[in-house]
Structure 1
Amino acid sequence: MAGLAGGRPAGARRGGCGWATLLLLLLPVQAAQRADLSGEAAGATINHSLALLHRLQELLHHGNASDTTLRVRTAGSDEVKVFHAHQLLLALQSEAFQSLLRNESVVTLHEPADSAALFEKFIRYLYCGEISILLHQAIPMHRLASKYRVATLQRGVAEYMKSHLASESSQGHVVGWYHYAVQIGDAGLQESCLQFLAWNLSAVMGSAEWATVSAELLALLLARSDLVLQSELELLTAVEAWVGRRQPEGPVAEKLLRAIRYPMIPPGHLFQLQTQSAVLARHHGAIQDLLFQAFQFHAASPVHFAKYFDLNCSMFLPRNYLAGAWGSPWVLSNPARDDRSTSFQTQLGPSNHDASKRVTWNVLFSPRWLPVSLRPVYSDSVSGAIQSVRLEDGRPRLVITPAMTSSDFAGVSFQKTVLVGVRQQGRILVRHAYSFHQSTDELADFLAHADLQKRASEYLIDNALHLHLIVKPVYHSLIRVRK
């Protein structure tokens, strides 16, 4: 391609007159603007920015009046790409190019293969301020923007990554983006990736992406109580597969296995694991105290166990389990119009002593923000009646309360978590997780930006709100006895 791969039109010149020639090439657009503005005294705005962008792209494409040559060498090969460019435009966008081109008209740049493949896109952005990228191009493009200090592109690619965590890709991309965020020190991108992985861990554990998780990332995930997964047993099975495949050093494997919350696994499964798990057998000495403690937890009553062990630690805190013993899915059609109620049952607590005891929960969901007569069926615009309602009156409300009281509740408190599912790129994923004790009135942001009255709301799947209600029973230490 002329101007991009070594070619140059016969009329293109090099030397000190390059910038002046560049300005002359752009003058027709400016002259047209002056002519349009002459005449009547009334003010007007005439926008020829698209024509100017087209001329800038033509400059890059044909190499007209170029005064700079960039030679991009691909690491590990003899491939060299040549770009005839303009120092003024490069320096305006990039502090690094401003320094590199100060005393040089020909510069050789060395780039890894994935970055070299995108260099034409990168240079074109410097000319027209627009770029299109795919998931697998995000890291090399961000790397180019960082290396050449193009701050606007750097921020733009980072925002693209944060907003495309849920996009579907054949090999997965969130784990790779997290590791890259750690490498460059982008704390915001790290946290966005971590939260997505925590809320959608079951999907990640069942994909090829699981094998690419580093030991450091896995340790961070295992420390979290907001992981969304079917059960602790599912998590242990995935960690065993990771250890079996990656074969980490003994201390690393033992640290990860000790982060499993064994008291959250029913005793029957714990017995099976001791005889069937090769990974647990290999590291049994490092975790046998935790297994013994878990069996004690299931054998004794929680009140008796609490006299001797501190239950206020993560080992005895449930995660966000999707299994039926911990909660229930709830799909609400037309959630902007009608108050809804439902009920479901959970087991009293994770201890086997409480496994057969059931608690019935009553749930109320209310749009709360309009009387029924004014609630819309679905529309893509907001009516004047709706606009007149204060935003603070518009927050939906959800209340989860037990249907009965019991002495069995002594020493147990219940944390509720509501997962909100969304469909993105054909997959149903967790968009938000809200935790509270009794009512979402305790929260300032529950579905605050959900736009439930709009058919096109990203919070709705087939015009319905998809929730999963989870009750997490938490035991408390009652009496501490010195050992």
Structure 2
Amino acid sequence: MRNHVALAAIHGTLVSWLQYTLNCGHHDISQACQNFIKWNLELVAKTADFGNFDLDILVSLLHQSSLVVKDEMTLYKCLEHWLNYQASRLRAQLLPEEVEATLYQLVIAVMSPVRFPMMSPRQLADLLMSPLTKKYKEFFVERMSIGMSFHSGQINRVKEVSMSEKDGALLFEPRLYTVDTCSSLLTIENFHSLPSYHMRTLVFSSHSSLAEYAGDRVCEWVVDIYPKGVWFKKFFLIVWQGTVEMPEHVKRSVRLSLTCKEPLNSNMRVKIGVLIYGLQDGVEHIARVTEIIHRFSKKDRVLNLDDLLPFEELNPQQGSVSENVVSPFLVGPNKDMLKLHIVISPAN
């Protein structure tokens, strides 16, 4: 089952697999299913099986900050789809008055973990036109007001919500959003023909603040990816005793080096996500996620992430495995493209 999780998602059975393996205690397989759903939610949400999500399991997933989604509005729409499915199912089973009472409880359960402060003021305004929002106006207006308090800089209100609600602080924490204001896609084509120690560079910018009141300041980042190992050439180190020759060194590691070109303050804390795509049963999907919280400053502007992927899994021709083996982390028609998404958001 674990080797066909992506295919199960495409065929609309993955949610059922997750719930079955959880009930049976198959933790390794259930974790693989959960990771796939968590990292490829939009793909799974398009299938009819998404409507079969058990409420408790879905709510547990919604509390996780490692959920990968374009933005919080996209997540809201996925949940709207799930609620529509529940409404159709309930109407076939219950009396009209029971349907409405049950639906109201479901709305509160799945929409309470939605991080409305992570939506832009424009998106919050657009929500007022949603049929679901209109139907349960009192609940949604209260949740949306929390979002507007965050964007207008009402610090006391933010602290109050963080302390008074269960997991309230999570409402103000970003997930792994792939929207272009905080992420960028990096692809390396013709991977098999790349020389050893090849480096590819990406320069992009991300918003320095999640709140509207802080303005549109951006921070510029330089990403250097070393998919075929790192070669440290011989150099001379000047110390107070004199000059010391340092020998060359080769590191068989898939390294990502992230440089903050100009930290906007002396202690800039950010959440970094590296989303790596893979291919399983012909299905391209996010196959691995590395997530880290890091502080950048004027003196500490570089973060190196080693062993982003197992070196021999990405470069089987350079390892001990058969030359005919193709890395599961290479995608594209010819299975020769390394594809990853870099996500950087301010961490509160």
TM class by shorter-chain length? 0.7 to 0.9
**1:465 matched to 2:338:** yes
Please identify, of 284-293 and 322-331, the stretch whose mean Cα deviation from structure 2 is larger. 284-293
Q: Which residue of 1 aligns with 2:206?
A: 346
Corresponding letter in the other structure for 1:328: S
The counterpart of 2:174, out of the listed 315, 318, 336, is 318
Asked if the contact 2:83–2:107 (Cα under 8 Å) also holds between the matched residues in 1, the reply is yes
Q: Report the Cα offset of residue 308 of structure 1.
A: 6.3
Q: Report the Cα offset of residue 223 of structure 1.
A: 1.1
Matches of 2:272 and 2:84 in 1, distance apart? 35
Matches of 2:232 and 2:115 in 1, distance apart? 46
Q: Which residue of 2 aligns with 1:176?
A: 16
The counterpart of 1:364, out of the listed 224, 227, 232, is 224
Q: Quickly say closer, same or farther: Cα 1:463–1:208, change in 2 above 3 A.
A: same
Deviations, residues 404-433 of structure 1 (Å, cap 9, x unaligned): 1224x76x5111110000122333201100
Alignment of 1:323-342 (within 5 A): 323-333=179-189, 334=191, 336-342=196-202
The counterpart of 1:285, out of the listed 130, 135, 138, is 138
Matches of 2:81 and 2:179 in 1, distance apart? 21
The alignment partner of 2:308 has SS state of coil
Q: Quickly say closer, same or farther: Cα 1:360–1:440, change in 2 above 3 A.
A: closer
More strand by share: 2
Asked if the contact 2:50–2:82 (Cα under 8 Å) also holds between the matched residues in 1, the reply is yes
Corresponding letter in the other structure for 1:266: S
Q: Quickly say closer, same or farther: Cα 1:370–1:272, change in 2 above 3 A.
A: closer
The alignment partner of 1:220 has SS state of helix
- Scaled by the length of structure 1, the TM-score of the pair is 0.55
Matches of 2:114 and 2:255 in 1, distance apart? 34
Matches of 1:345 and 1:463 in 2, distance apart? 27
Q: Quickly say closer, same or farther: Cα 1:301–1:442, change in 2 above 3 A.
A: farther
Corresponding letter in the other structure for 2:15: V
Q: Which residue of 1 aligns with 2:42?
A: 202
Matches of 1:169 and 1:297 in 2, distance apart? 36
Alignment of 1:391-402 (within 5 A): 393-402=251-260
Asked if the contact 1:200–1:229 (Cα under 8 Å) also holds between the matched residues in 2, the reply is yes
Give the percent of matched residue pairs that are identical in Structure 1 and Structure 2: 21
Asked if the contact 1:337–1:372 (Cα under 8 Å) also holds between the matched residues in 2, the reply is no
Matches of 2:35 and 2:10 in 1, distance apart? 21
Q: Which residue of 1 aligns with 2:60?
A: 220
Corresponding letter in the other structure for 1:264: M
Deviations, residues 183-211 of structure 1 (Å, cap 9, x unaligned): 32323322221111101101011222222
**1:422 matched to 2:295:** no
Deviations, residues 426-450 of structure 1 (Å, cap 9, x unaligned): 332011000124577466x521255
**1:266 matched to 2:120:** yes
Asked if the contact 1:228–1:322 (Cα under 8 Å) also holds between the matched residues in 2, the reply is yes
- Scaled by the length of structure 2, the TM-score of the pair is 0.75
Matches of 2:180 and 2:188 in 1, distance apart? 19
Larger RCO, structure (CA 8 Å, separation 6 or more): 2
Asked if the contact 1:211–1:245 (Cα under 8 Å) also holds between the matched residues in 2, the reply is yes
The alignment partner of 2:18 has SS state of helix
Matches of 1:360 and 1:440 in 2, distance apart? 14
Deviations, residues 263-282 of structure 1 (Å, cap 9, x unaligned): 011111111212x2222233
Q: Quickly say closer, same or farther: Cα 1:182–1:370, change in 2 above 3 A.
A: closer
Matches of 1:298 and 1:370 in 2, distance apart? 43
Q: Pick the structure with greater CA Rg.
A: 1
Q: Quickly say closer, same or farther: Cα 1:326–1:355, change in 2 above 3 A.
A: farther
Deviations, residues 437-483 of structure 1 (Å, cap 9, x unaligned): 4577466x5212553334621212242211100002112xxxxxxxx
Deviations, residues 74-126 of structure 1 (Å, cap 9, x unaligned): xxxxxxxxxxxxxxxxxxxxxxxxxxxxxxxxxxxxxxxxxxxxxxxxxxxxx
**1:448 matched to 2:321:** no
Q: Quickly say closer, same or farther: Cα 1:261–1:281, change in 2 above 3 A.
A: same
Matches of 2:141 and 2:172 in 1, distance apart? 17
Q: Quickly say closer, same or farther: Cα 1:250–1:309, change in 2 above 3 A.
A: closer
Matches of 1:170 and 1:419 in 2, distance apart? 20
Matches of 1:170 and 1:197 in 2, distance apart? 11
Q: Report the Cα offset of residue 168 of structure 1.
A: 5.5
The alignment partner of 1:165 has SS state of helix
The alignment partner of 1:466 has SS state of strand
Aligned residues: 293
Matches of 2:68 and 2:147 in 1, distance apart? 22
Asked if the contact 2:206–2:345 (Cα under 8 Å) also holds between the matched residues in 1, the reply is no
Matches of 2:106 and 2:154 in 1, distance apart? 34
Asked if the contact 1:363–1:398 (Cα under 8 Å) also holds between the matched residues in 2, the reply is yes
Q: Quickly say closer, same or farther: Cα 1:457–1:260, change in 2 above 3 A.
A: same
Uncovered stretches (5+) of structure 2, i.e. residues with no partner: 88-101, 234-248, 295-301, 318-325
Stretches (4+) displaced over 6 A: 304-309
Q: Which residue of 2 aligns with 1:137?
A: none
Matches of 1:290 and 1:421 in 2, distance apart? 34
Deviations, residues 290-317 of structure 1 (Å, cap 9, x unaligned): 2211111111277x87676649821111
Asked if the contact 2:83–2:106 (Cα under 8 Å) also holds between the matched residues in 1, the reply is no
Q: Which residue of 2 aligns with 1:11?
A: none
Uncovered stretches (5+) of structure 1, i.e. residues with no partner: 1-160, 374-388, 476-483
